[in-house]
C-alpha cells in the first residue's frame, strides 16, 4: 500500500487499506466498522463507494482504526476536511493546511506545485515570457507585462517556476521551459485554484475590450441547447483546444504572450417542457 502522503482522496485510502488487510487476513467490513466504532457493518464500505460521507468527527476514529498516529492521523483528518469543505475558500484553506503539515514533516503533497501554479496569472504569463527575454532583468519583464506587476513579484514568480520544475535556469541566468505546455491534470485540488485564475483572466478579458480590433479577437453566441448538444459542443471545444496547443507549440519562437478564454455557460435555468 502507498504512503498516505501519496493520496488526495480519503475514500481511496480507506479502500486500499481494507484491500490490503483483506489480502493478508480474514478481515471484513464488519471488523473494520467495529474497530472504528460504527454500528453498521457496511458503513465504511458505503463511504468508499461514495454512498455515504465520513464526518469530520468520525475521521479520527477511522484513522485510529487503521493504526494511523501522529502526522499521518492528522493528514487523514485533513483529507476528510478538504473533501467536504464548502466553497472554494474553505477547500483552499484545507488544502493549504495539508500542504503546510506535509512541509513541516519534509514530505511533498501531490498537487502542491500544480495548485500554486494555477492560483495566479503571473505564473503562466512569466513561464511563456521569460524564455524569450534572455538577459532581461525582473524590472524589464515587469514592464513587458500588460498587467501591473512589480520586479519583486517577477523574481518571486520565476523562483517558484524553477522550484516547481516548470522553468530551468541555465548557467548564464537565462530561462528555458521544461515542457512545451502545462495541463491542469487530474489532481482534485487544482480546479479550485484554477477558478481563481479564471476569474482573474475573465477580468482581464473585459479590460481587453478597449484594445484595437487588430490586437484582440472576441465574439460570442447565445444558443438554445439540449444536454446532448451541450456535451457534443464540450467535446468540440476540447478538440479545438488541443489543436490550438499543437499550433502554438509548432514554433519555438514567441513574439507576444496571449491568453485564449473559452467559455460556455448557462444563461437561464433549466427550461421545463410545457404542453
1-21 pLDDT tens trace: 777 877 889 999 999 999 999
Q: Could you write out the DSSP letters of every residue in 10-65? A: HHHHHHHHHHHHHHHS---HHHHHHHHT-SSTTHHHHHHTTSS---HHHHHHHHHH
CB 129 within 8 A of CB 257: yes
User: What pLDDT, on a 0 to 100 scale, did the predictor assign at position 264?
Assistant: 86
CATH class of the 4-109 domain in this structure = mainly alpha
| 230 compared with 195, residue with greater pLDDT | 230
Predicted confidence band of residue 64 (pLDDT cuts 50, 70, 90) = very high
d(CA 96, CA 85): 13
Domain ranges within the chain, ordered by starting residue: 4-109, 122-248
130-148 pLDDT tens trace: 999 999 999 999 999 999 9
- Tell me the mean pLDDT in the region 211-226: 89
CB 150 within 8 A of CB 142: yes
Q: What are phi and psi of 179, to 5 degrees?
A: -140, 155
User: What pLDDT, on a 0 to 100 scale, did the predictor assign at position 112?
Assistant: 62
Instruction: Supply the pTM of this predicted model.
Output: 0.55
> Alpha helices of the chain — where are they, by DSSP H?
10-24, 29-36, 43-48, 56-65, 70-83, 88-104, 112-117, 122-129, 138-144, 151-163, 190-208, 227-248
User: What pLDDT, on a 0 to 100 scale, did the predictor assign at position 66?
Assistant: 94
Amino acid at each position: 500500500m502507498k504512503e498516505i502522503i501519496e493520496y488526495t482522496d480519503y475514500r481511496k485510502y480507506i479502500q486500499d487499506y481494507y484491500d490490503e488487510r483483506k489480502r493478508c487476513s480474514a478481515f471484513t467490513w464488519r471488523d473494520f466498522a467495529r474497530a472504528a466504532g460504527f454500528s453498521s457493518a457496511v458503513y465504511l464500505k458505503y463511504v468508499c463507494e461514495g454512498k455515504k460521507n465520513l464526518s469530520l468527527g468520525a475521521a479520527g476514529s477511522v484513522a485510529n482504526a487503521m493504526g494511523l498516529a501522529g502526522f499521518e492521523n492528522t493528514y487523514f483528518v485533513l483529507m476528510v476536511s478538504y473533501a467536504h469543505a464548502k466553497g472554494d475558500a474553505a477547500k483552499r484553506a484545507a488544502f493549504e493546511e495539508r500542504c503546510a503539515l506535509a512541509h513541516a514533516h519534509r514530505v511533498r503533497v501531490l498537487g502542491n506545485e500544480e495548485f500554486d501554479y494555477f492560483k495566479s496569472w503571473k505564473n503562466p504569463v512569466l513561464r511563456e515570457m521569460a524564455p524569450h527575454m534572455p538577459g532581461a532583468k525582473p524590472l524589464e519583464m515587469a514592464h513587458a507585462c500588460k498587467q501591473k506587476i512589480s520586479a519583486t513579484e517577477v523574481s518571486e514568480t520565476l523562483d517558484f517556476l524553477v522550484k516547481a520544475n516548470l522553468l530551468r535556469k541555465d548557467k548564464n541566468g537565462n530561462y528555458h521551459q521544461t515542457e512545451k505546455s502545462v495541463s491542469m491534470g487530474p489532481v482534485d485540488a487544482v480546479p479550485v485554484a484554477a477558478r481563481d485564475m479564471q476569474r482573474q483572466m475573465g477580468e482581464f478579458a473585459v479590460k481587453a475590450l478597449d484594445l484595437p480590433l487588430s490586437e484582440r479577437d472576441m465574439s460570442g453566441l447565445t444558443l438554445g441547447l439540449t444536454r446532448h448538444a451541450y456535451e457534443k459542443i464540450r467535446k468540440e471545444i476540447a478538440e479545438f483546444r488541443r489543436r490550438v496547443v499543437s499550433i502554438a507549440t509548432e514554433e519555438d519562437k514567441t513574439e507576444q504572450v496571449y491568453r485564449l478564454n473559452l467559455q460556455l455557460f448557462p444563461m437561464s435555468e433549466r427550461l421545463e417542457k410545457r404542453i
